Structure 1
Amino acid sequence: MTREQRRLVETMRSTTFDYSALARSRDGFGGGMQWLKVKKFEYLTRYRRDPITGEQKATSIGRRSPETEAIYDRFITGRADLDRQMGALRPELAEQARMAKALRLSRAPSEIGDVARAIGLSEMIDHITIIGEAAVYTYECEMAALFPREILPDDGMDLLVAGVHPTDVIDELIAVLRRARIEVQRARLSRDKAAVELKTDEGLSIRLYTISTLENLVDQYAEVTSYGAEAVRWALDQPVMRSILIDRNGRAALAAVLEPRAYCMLRFMALDVEEMSLIRREASSELTAAVVKLVHERWTEPFAEDHVQTIGPLQDALGEDGIPSAPRM
């Protein structure tokens, strides 16, 4: 990235983190409160619309009293304060989006950006991590470098979600997406039967994994290379990091992603255990090798020597001397 691009990305990062935090706090004020008169008494009622069924549900908090009046005042004041702060940031976000397009930082497909943004503006950001190739858009922003556009992915999102089975969070995720006006349908199990798949109306495929389903894939990988499987287990133990991606409309989205070295380990495993066409495998291999080179040149921590020695494709991507080979393109 140029100095101007780097400066804008850092500004967008700060604004997006701030706005996303406000939006998550604003979720707690969803729906509203009102006083309802029943016979001769007034009762404070909290109402919300169920994001899945669309039905409005109301709960009585209690008869009018100094305590319920204080609850009502805190609710109205807190919601108004958050709305004011978010409103103040929206012009900045719009201006930054315009500048991002002008500086050619608009990279991720808009469908991916919309899904990532919906998750990043909700509490689901604490429970969902992008683990597939869509994560490369965040690594561009995190390491201030741009991949060649022709190798960038655009065919789906792989998400690591909380729960024992991917179906555990489907309803919550669908609700978050529908609030952002993204309609999704449940699709079939993926071919590898490790993930549950959702499809948006725009045709974006979203595959959901959990730690337990990934561990099943690691067990399959261990049959190919036991030491490589240990490297993947190391990868899954690494802390999740948060960064931003910028979509083709220039809009930033907060996203939780794997540490980039961990991402590379997971992608090398996927190349060995997932079913994919030859064309898809070549494209994925090339993209993973490009991320390896970027990590080697710009990430704060180097690849561990034992990981390099135990994962053949990682060693190939780095070369015999631990230096990335020249890109094929």
Structure 2
Amino acid sequence: MSDLLPMTANQRRMLVDTRQLWDAWQAAWRRRAGYAGSLSWKEEKGSDYLVKVFDDPGTRVRKMRSLGPRSPETERIYQEFRTGKEEAKERLDSLSRRLSEQARLNRAVDLGRVPTIASKILRRLDREGLLGHNVYIAGTNAIYAYEAAAGVFVRTDLLATGDLGILMEARARLRLTVTGEEPASVIDVLRSVDRSFKKADEASFRAVNRDGYYVDLIKAAANPPWRDEREGFGEGDLLASSIANMKWVANAPKFEATAVGEDGQPVPMACPDPRAFALYKLWLGTKDDGRDPVKRARDVEQAHTVAAIVTQHLPQLPFEPEHLKCFPKPVVDFASEGDDPFFKPF
């Protein structure tokens, strides 16, 4: 029996509708965020002045700035701001209602896949401007992105996991949020989703909630080892654990897709290229390093499953040398050999 089950025509249609709605909702949310703060008239020494009240991006302290005395120009600014803000709110509210209805339909056709806690975390990381820029999904949860892009379902036992791995781009420039603020720390993002998340210890790369679900922040080992790199996002954040040979995955092209959570809502996914995932999992599962043989066997099975997704359903991602340069040649050669190779030898 194949590990891949094709989506029905109705499920594919629902997924397409969900992606389009999500794209529209994100654009509407960004537009609404652009109207942060407020404009009002303030009387001073007998004259009216247009003032903007806003939260300072750096300190998050509420501030006030004058835009000038009342005049045709400031009157225009005031009216356009009020009208634009109201229109942006109305559009966002409308699309939010449509997303809620789409979520109900998605649940009805069993399209929901990504566990609810992981879905909420990924949406929040996306809103903070971290996902797809400074952090990516690592490990088993990335398979949800690959299957959604291919229009198939992977066997649930290959997807079962009680954790979420987050790969940090330690060398990437920190991207500001839509409102110009620095993104929240990973631990703050987790606590905004579930207040029970706590660091395993003060110098930990892991946070755990009351249900035992844990989130690991990892990164590729620095090269050279003494290179000064970011370990987290702000004071008190998780401190990323350095993983040997994770650079193969970190340096690979990135892959984005929209999956669907168990709650029926869309989930933004940003993760390593599925070819990199497959090769890394194959290497991890076949190297003789004393790891748990059960985990090693699962790594190999996941590797072959993701390779099948690529070769059978994602022809735009060929297993060719120029796309696999981030991996050592012996690893690539190994994947093309044996009785059940990923792909034909070059």
Residue 245 of structure 1 is matched in structure 2 by 259
TM-score by length of 2: 0.71
Corresponding residue for residue 155 of structure 2: 148
Do residues 28 (structure 1) and 34 (structure 2) align? yes
3-state SS in 1 of match to 2:318: coil
1:1-329 equivalences under 5 Å are: 1-38=7-44, 40-41=46-47, 42-48=49-55, 57-66=62-71, 67-127=73-133, 128-164=135-171, 171-174=184-187, 181-183=193-195, 184-188=197-201, 196-200=205-209, 203-210=212-219, 213=222, 220-221=244-245, 233=248, 236-268=250-282, 271=285, 277-300=292-315, 301-304=317-320, 310-311=330-331, 314-315=335-336, 319-320=340-341, 322=343
Structure ranking higher in helix proportion: 1
Question: Unaligned regions of 5+ residues in structure 2, if any?
Answer: 1-6, 176-181, 226-240
State the secondary structure of the residue aligned to 1:119.
helix
Does the C-alpha gap of structure 1 residues 144 and 82 become closer, same or farther in structure 2, counting only changes over 3 Å? same
- Give how far 1:274 is off: 9.5
TM-aligned CA distance change 1:176 to 1:7, over 3 Å: same
Q: Deviations over 1:280-323 (max 9, x none)?
A: 33333322221122212112222226879722763468715847
CA RMSD in angstroms comes to 4.0
- In structure 1, stretches of 5+ residues that fail to align are 222-228, 324-329
Letter in 2 for 1:244: T
Aligned residues, how many?
306
Q: Secondary structure at the match of 1:257?
A: strand
Q: Which amino acid aligns with 2:255?
A: M
Which deviates the most, 76-85 or 207-216? 207-216
Deviates more, 1:20-29 or 1:1-10: 20-29
TM normalised by structure 1 equals 0.74
Q: Judge conservation of contact 2:220–2:242 (CA < 8 Å) in 1.
A: no
